[in-house]
Amino acid sequence: MTVIEFSKPLGVTETTIPGLVVFDLPVHGDARGWFKENWQREKMTALGLPDFGPVQNNISFNDAAGTTRGIHAEPWDKWVSVATGRIFGAWVDLREGDTFGAVYTTELDPSKAIFVPRGVGNSYQTLEPDTAYTYLVNDHWSPTASYTFLNLADETAAITWPIPLDQVEISAKDLAHPRLADVVPMTPAKILITGANGQLGRALRDTFGDAPHIEYATRADLDLTDPNLGTARRWRDYSTIINAAAYTAVDTAETPDGRTAAWAGNVTAITNLARIATANGITLVHVSSDYVFDGTKHGEYTEEDPVSPLGVYGQTKAAGDAIVATVSRHYIIRTSWVIGDGNNFVRTMATLAAKGVNPTVVNDQTGRLTFTTTLADAIAHLLNMHAEPGIYNVTNTGEPTTWYDIAREVYRLTGHDPDRVTPVSTADYFANAKGPVAPRPSNSLLSLKKIESKGGALRDSGSSLVTYLEAVKHR
């Protein structure tokens, strides 16, 4: 008969399998019986348990001691605890990676629970009659879900079952599962990258690669403004959405049609993604802009500074940020002056230099360049380290500069006389504009202390400019 240890403190024990965590549960008992908090989100997440968002609660009742089930790796996370009786549990990592095949075993009674991450095979053998265990899962059971299985008697896992397998009740299906050498590892949950053909999207392709679980989408593939976006994918299969799609025509956004398009691309689309992320426990990465500020601050903008956008584009980006911040798992990446594979200021200056054009360039806007390689690597870094959700400023490092300074440097690095570039104020530059002109923040400097405190490797803007121009020259 199970002897329950009463009143022990809530505690955590890490295991040899990454993400597989055993919890000690306080059980309070007297002559009438016992009581426990089987799942307590606030207390348990404070101890490091993922906020995995359970949507279904199941109970498995077993008549006889020795009933054995598994080994099943499922495409969802699972919180398992015993309601009555006692079980021996065995878990095998069946995910892709260095710990594939790692084994952990322990006994569970009502005073213990275990969090089983997606892709870790789980199996249970009852040690007493009339044993019942419960499990919360963060996806609804589906007959079409993709499982990975391992044979209970696999020689490599070499699980020492308390009751030998030839003496217990096992289903014929479980007995027929493959040995470890024949198991196809479960791939990670999918990562969706939108805006895949843009400057940042191309850099994200280089950073994240072409693994089967990485999915790239353009507007032709996936319309983020579609009211039916929520049914466009089986979103429970995704762990992360990186939204690199945006409306960025800042001047056109000041026109009636442009205003409509900007709000659709930067707000309606983000609202759809935020709703999907919230409903399915997905991490949402959103790329924001220095245009959420009015540029009047002296010094660098931090992640805590209040937004104060000047024009329509900035207003839509600020609105998108506010929406993304409602998602439990989110990263808002604030950046400025983005340079990547595509049409941009640096490439334009290099082309003008080669054509013998002497440009006039504004010299009263201050900031730092952000190369898309730096931006993509910073996003990957935050995701890989599971950094706390929130806003992160990301640009290249280096001294503050102006567009005029950058133009001169591009001319110099491409072998042209930088004095061919003439400085001009923003007001004078746009004085004869034929259409609407969006107001620009005069100060776009973003503090990088927060991302650097997380170990983000930000490259110097000067050396990155040299590398970028070399790459452009050889294309």
Residues annotated catalytic, as ranges: 72, 135
| Closest to 470 measured CA to CA, from 349, 336, 350 | 350
β 238-243/214-217 pair status = unpaired
Question: What six digits make up the tokens of 12?
Answer: 């955590």
Q: Provide the β-strand partners of residue 58.
A: 135
Amino acid, res. 236: R
- Sort residue 226 into left (φ over 0), alpha (ψ -120 to 50) or beta: beta
Distance CA 87, CA 66 (A): 9
Distance CA 2, CA 126 (A): 12
Query: Would you say 324 and 332 are in contact if contact means Cβ atoms under 8 Å apart?
Result: yes
Amino acid, res. 202: R
Distance CA 128, CA 85 (A): 6
Q: How far is CA 167 from CA 66, 136, 163, 200, in A?
A: 8, 30, 7, 59
Distance CA 45, CA 37 (A): 14
β 131-137/56-62 pair status = antiparallel
Distance CA 177, CA 93 (A): 15
